């Protein structure tokens, strides 16, 4: 039976050379390159592109409202970003630059790990991330914000040892198409599949765009347990087929990474940005782990 084994191509980051400057591994001028579309994305670091008049987003889970870390900032207006991804998260306008940004709280959590993990596992209230699609008219907005005193104060108050080292994602490369993860198949009641085919197309770990999520035996996905129910736009539409359905848009990290790279943001579990398949700008967090 192969009906459930829908193949989806994942895209893995292709980093430019890592930046070896331990005194200051964040280069503010990389924001100019990001907004100019010289490369696809920035991973980690402490320089979010913000509108000139907006404040640095802060955590709504931890008591001291820690500034969130710009975990991933993807330019949706450059051809350095895969067309398949740009089609699923279309730029807000044809002119200027649209970014897809994922911010997470890397402050220490109540449990081992970080605040973001506490929240996304359902162990803590509030909101320890921000995922958004934002438009910039030109390359000035994001750079003006970084000169503001508020920006610099927020930057100084990050827990720096927990901020992932800033890296340039030049582009993303399509990899071997993936089948749904074994645990997903099990949940779908699909137990009679071609093992050899599965092994040849098993989902990969670590940061990736699209593909299939690596699920463990325990999940905290939208609509499961205590987490907020799915997509508010879908929920408002009471037609019989309005059930929430999502895709794994970005796998942020996994607890085990093939070819582990020390600069990866390690999570004690697998974390994802899920996207409503009907509403491209509705995102939810997902987490799964096997213990
Ligand atoms: Zn926090
Ligand atoms: Zn929806």
pLDDT digits 0-9 by tens, 143-152: 778 888 888 8
Q: Which domain holds residue 107?
A: 13-172
Lowest mean pLDDT among 19-28, 73-82, 93-102, 261-270: 19-28
Task: Report yes or no on 3 lying in a domain.
Answer: no
- In whole angstroms, what separates CA 50 from the centre of its chain? 17
Considering every ligand atom shown, identify the ligand nearest to the alpha carbon of residue 244 and give its number.
2
Q: Give distance in angstroms: CA of 141 to centre of ligand 2.
A: 30
Q: What's the domain count of the chain? A: 2
Task: Report yes or no on 235 lying in a domain.
Answer: yes
Shared domain for 66 and 130, answered yes or no, is: yes
How does 31-64 read in b/e, with b if 16+ C-beta sit within 10 Å?
bbbbbebebbbbbbbbbbbbeeeeebbbbebbee
Give the best-scoring range by mean pLDDT among 76-80, 106-110, 194-198, 217-221: 76-80
Considering every ligand atom shown, identify the ligand nearest to the alpha carbon of residue 230 and give its number.
2
- Give the pLDDT band of residue 1 (cuts 50, 70, 90): very low
Q: Provide the pLDDT for residue 263.
A: 47
Shared domain for 194 and 127, answered yes or no, is: no
For residue 107 the two structure tokens come to: 């402050």
Task: Report yes or no on 244 lying in a domain.
Answer: yes
Q: Provide the pLDDT for residue 191.
A: 80
- Give the pLDDT band of residue 225 (cuts 50, 70, 90): very low
Considering every ligand atom shown, identify the ligand nearest to the alpha carbon of residue 277 and give its number.
2
Q: Give distance in angstroms: CA of 243 to centre of ligand 2.
A: 9
Q: What is the ipTM of this complex?
A: 0.96
Considering every ligand atom shown, identify the ligand nearest to the alpha carbon of residue 162 and give its number.
1
Q: Give distance in angstroms: CA of 144 to centre of ligand 1.
A: 26
Shared domain for 130 and 259, answered yes or no, is: no
pLDDT at residue 65 is higher than 80:
yes
Shared domain for 104 and 28, answered yes or no, is: yes
Q: Provide the pLDDT for residue 2.
A: 46
Q: Give distance in angstroms: CA of 21 to centre of ligand 1.
A: 27
Lowest mean pLDDT among 24-38, 80-94, 118-132, 208-222: 24-38
pLDDT at residue 237 is higher than 50:
yes
Shared domain for 32 and 139, answered yes or no, is: yes
Q: Give distance in angstroms: CA of 116 to centre of ligand 1.
A: 6
Considering every ligand atom shown, identify the ligand nearest to the alpha carbon of residue 124 and give its number.
1
Considering every ligand atom shown, identify the ligand nearest to the alpha carbon of residue 125 and give its number.
1
Shared domain for 86 and 150, answered yes or no, is: yes
**pLDDT above 70 coverage of the chain, percent:** 82
Higher-confidence residue of 197 and 144: namely 197
d(CA 101, CA 128) in angstroms, rounded, equals: 14
Q: Give distance in angstroms: CA of 274 to centre of ligand 2.
A: 11
Task: Report yes or no on 158 lying in a domain.
Answer: yes
Shared domain for 160 and 216, answered yes or no, is: no
Considering every ligand atom shown, identify the ligand nearest to the alpha carbon of residue 117 and give its number.
1
Report how far apart, in Å, the C-alpha atoms of 258 and of each of 12, 48, 180 are. 12, 28, 18
């Amino acid at each position: 039976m192969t009906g459930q084994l829908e193949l989806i191509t994942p895209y893995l980051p292709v980093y430019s050379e890592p930046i070896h400057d331990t005194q200051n591994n964040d280069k503010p001028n990389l924001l100019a390159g990001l907004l100019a579309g010289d490369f696809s994305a920035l991973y980690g670091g402490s320089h979010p592109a913000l509108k000139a008049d907006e404040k640095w987003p802060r955590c709504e889970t931890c008591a001291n409202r820690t500034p969130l870390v710009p975990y991933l900032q993807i330019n949706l207006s450059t051809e350095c970003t895969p067309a398949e991804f740009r089609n699923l998260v279309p730029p807000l306008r044809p002119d200027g630059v649209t970014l897809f940004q994922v911010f997470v709280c890397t402050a220490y959590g109540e449990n081992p790990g970080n605040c973001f993990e506490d929240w996304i596992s359902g162990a803590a209230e509030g909101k320890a991330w921000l995922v958004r699609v934002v438009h910039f008219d030109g390359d000035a907005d994001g750079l003006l914000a970084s000169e503001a005193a508020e920006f610099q104060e927020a930057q100084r108050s990050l827990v720096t040892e927990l901020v992932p080292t800033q890296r340039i994602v030049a582009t993303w490369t399509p990899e071997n198409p993936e089948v749904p993860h074994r645990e997903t198949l099990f949940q779908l009641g699909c137990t009679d599949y071609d093992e050899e085919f599965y092994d040849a197309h098993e989902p990969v770990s670590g940061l990736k765009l699209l593909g299939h999520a690596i699920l463990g035996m325990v999940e905290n996905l939208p609509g499961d347990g205590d987490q907020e129910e799915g997509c508010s736009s879908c929920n408002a539409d009471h037609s019989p087929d309005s059930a929430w359905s999502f895709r794994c848009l970005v796998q942020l990290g996994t607890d085990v990474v093939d070819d582990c790279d020390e600069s990866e943001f390690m999570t004690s579990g697998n974390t994802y940005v899920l996207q409503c398949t009907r509403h491209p700008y509705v995102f939810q967090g997902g987490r799964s782990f096997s213990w």
